Structure 1
Amino acid sequence: MPIATVNPATGETLSTFDELGAQEIERRLAAAATAFHHYRTTGFAVRAELMNRAAGLLDADQETIARTMTTEMGKPVAAARAEAAKCAKAMRWYAAHAERLLADETPPADETADAGAVRARVRYRPLGVVLAVMPWNFPLWQVVRFAAPALMAGNVGLLKHASNVPQTALYLEDLFRRAGFPAGCFQTLLVGSRAVEGILRDARVAAATLTGSEPAGRSVAAIAGDEIKKTVLELGGSDPYIVMPSADLERAVRTAVTARVQNNGQSCIAAKRFIVHADVHEAFTERFASRMRALTVGDPMEETTDVGPLASERGRADLEELVDDALRRGATALCGGARPKDRPLGWFYEPTVLTGITPDMRIHREETFGPVATVYRVGGLGEAVELANDTPFGLSSNVWTRDPAEQERFARDIEAGGVFFNGMTASHPALPFGGVKRSGYGRELSGHGIREFCNVTTLWYGAEPAGA
Structure 2
Amino acid sequence: MKPIQLISPVDGSVYLERMPLSADEAKAAVARARAAQKAWAAKPLEDRIALVKAGVAKLNDMSAVIVEELAWQMGRPTRFGGEFGGVNARTEYMSDIATATLAPQIIEDSDKFRRYLARDPVGVVFIVAPWNYPYLTTINTLVPALIAGNTVILKHASQTMKVGERLAEAFHAAGIPEDVFQNVVLDHATTEALIAARSFGFVNFTGSVGGGVAMEKAAAGTFTPLGLELGGKDPGYVRHDANLDAAVDTLMDGAMYNAGQCCCGIERIYVHESLYDAFVEKAVAWVKTLKLGNPFDADSTLGPMANKRFAKVVRDQIADAVAQGAKPLIDPALFPADDGGAYLAPQILVNVNHSMRVMTEESFGPVVGIMKVKDDEEAIALMNDSPYGLTASVWTQDYDTAQAIGQRIETGTVFMNRADYLDPALCWTGCKDTGRGGSLSYLGFHSVTRPKSYHLKKV
Specify the TM-score bucket, using the shorter chain as the normaliser.
Answer: over 0.9
Match of 2:126 in 1: 131
Of residues 420, 434, 439 in structure 2, which corresponds to 1:439? 434
Match of 2:9 in 1: 8
CA contact (8 A) 1:35 1:183 kept: no
Match of 1:92 in 2: 92
Match of 1:29 in 2: 30
1:455 aligns with 2:450: yes
Of residues 261, 268, 272 in structure 1, which corresponds to 2:263? 268
1:286 Cα deviation after fit: 0.7
CA contact (8 A) 2:396 2:402 kept: yes
In the alignment, the residues of structure 2 paired with residue 16 and residue 345 of structure 1 have an alpha-carbon distance, to the nearest angstrom, of 25
In the alignment, the residues of structure 2 paired with residue 84 and residue 303 of structure 1 have an alpha-carbon distance, to the nearest angstrom, of 19
Q: Paired residues, what number?
A: 458
In the alignment, the residues of structure 1 paired with residue 264 and residue 436 of structure 2 have an alpha-carbon distance, to the nearest angstrom, of 15
In the alignment, the residues of structure 1 paired with residue 43 and residue 79 of structure 2 have an alpha-carbon distance, to the nearest angstrom, of 37
Match of 1:69 in 2: 70
CA contact (8 A) 1:275 1:375 kept: yes
1:85 Cα deviation after fit: 3.2
**In 2 relative to 1, CA 207–357 (structure 1 residues): closer, same or farther, beyond 3 Å?**
same
1:425 aligns with 2:415: no
**In 2 relative to 1, CA 132–344 (structure 1 residues): closer, same or farther, beyond 3 Å?**
same
Secondary structure of 1:327's counterpart equals helix
**In 2 relative to 1, CA 49–396 (structure 1 residues): closer, same or farther, beyond 3 Å?**
same
**In 2 relative to 1, CA 125–226 (structure 1 residues): closer, same or farther, beyond 3 Å?**
same
In the alignment, the residues of structure 1 paired with residue 175 and residue 282 of structure 2 have an alpha-carbon distance, to the nearest angstrom, of 51
Q: Which runs of 4+ in 1 moved over 4 A?
A: 336-340
In the alignment, the residues of structure 2 paired with residue 108 and residue 375 of structure 1 have an alpha-carbon distance, to the nearest angstrom, of 57
Secondary structure of 2:275's counterpart equals helix
**In 2 relative to 1, CA 198–345 (structure 1 residues): closer, same or farther, beyond 3 Å?**
same
Q: What are the residue-to-residue correspondences of 1:52-451 with 2, within 5 Å? A: 52-81=53-82, 83-107=83-107, 118-336=113-331, 340-344=335-339, 347-451=342-446
RMSD: 1.9
Query: What letter is aligned with 1:85?
Result: G
CA contact (8 A) 1:76 1:301 kept: yes
CA contact (8 A) 1:338 1:349 kept: no
In the alignment, the residues of structure 2 paired with residue 135 and residue 403 of structure 1 have an alpha-carbon distance, to the nearest angstrom, of 36
1:309 Cα deviation after fit: 0.3
Secondary structure of 2:372's counterpart equals strand
CA contact (8 A) 2:22 2:190 kept: no
Secondary structure of 1:173's counterpart equals helix
Greater mean deviation of Cα atoms: 401-410 or 289-298: 401-410
Greater mean deviation of Cα atoms: 88-97 or 72-81: 88-97
In the alignment, the residues of structure 1 paired with residue 108 and residue 298 of structure 2 have an alpha-carbon distance, to the nearest angstrom, of 57
Query: What letter is aligned with 2:89?
Result: K
Query: What letter is aligned with 1:413?
Result: R
Query: What letter is aligned with 1:39?
Result: W
Structure 1 length normalisation: TM-score? 0.94
**In 2 relative to 1, CA 5–339 (structure 1 residues): closer, same or farther, beyond 3 Å?**
farther
In the alignment, the residues of structure 2 paired with residue 345 and residue 14 of structure 1 have an alpha-carbon distance, to the nearest angstrom, of 21
1:69 Cα deviation after fit: 1.3
CA contact (8 A) 2:309 2:342 kept: no
**In 2 relative to 1, CA 22–124 (structure 1 residues): closer, same or farther, beyond 3 Å?**
same
Could you tell me the percent identity over the aligned residues? 29
CA contact (8 A) 2:123 2:150 kept: yes
CA contact (8 A) 2:15 2:73 kept: no
1:301 Cα deviation after fit: 1.7
1:343 Cα deviation after fit: 4.3
Secondary structure of 1:279's counterpart equals coil
Secondary structure of 1:416's counterpart equals coil
CA contact (8 A) 1:70 1:80 kept: no
**In 2 relative to 1, CA 385–343 (structure 1 residues): closer, same or farther, beyond 3 Å?**
closer
CA contact (8 A) 1:323 1:337 kept: no
Query: What letter is aligned with 1:16?
Result: E
CA contact (8 A) 1:74 1:309 kept: yes
CA contact (8 A) 1:236 1:393 kept: yes
Q: For each residue in 1:198-235, what CA deviation from the matched residue of structure 2 results, as whole angstroms up to 9, or x when unmatched?
A: 11123332220100000111111222232111111111
In the alignment, the residues of structure 2 paired with residue 124 and residue 303 of structure 1 have an alpha-carbon distance, to the nearest angstrom, of 48
Query: What letter is aligned with 2:31?
Result: A
CA contact (8 A) 1:55 1:92 kept: no
1:84 Cα deviation after fit: 2.5
Greater mean deviation of Cα atoms: 29-38 or 326-335: 29-38
1:153 Cα deviation after fit: 0.7
In the alignment, the residues of structure 2 paired with residue 312 and residue 66 of structure 1 have an alpha-carbon distance, to the nearest angstrom, of 18
In the alignment, the residues of structure 2 paired with residue 2 and residue 377 of structure 1 have an alpha-carbon distance, to the nearest angstrom, of 49
CA contact (8 A) 2:338 2:345 kept: no
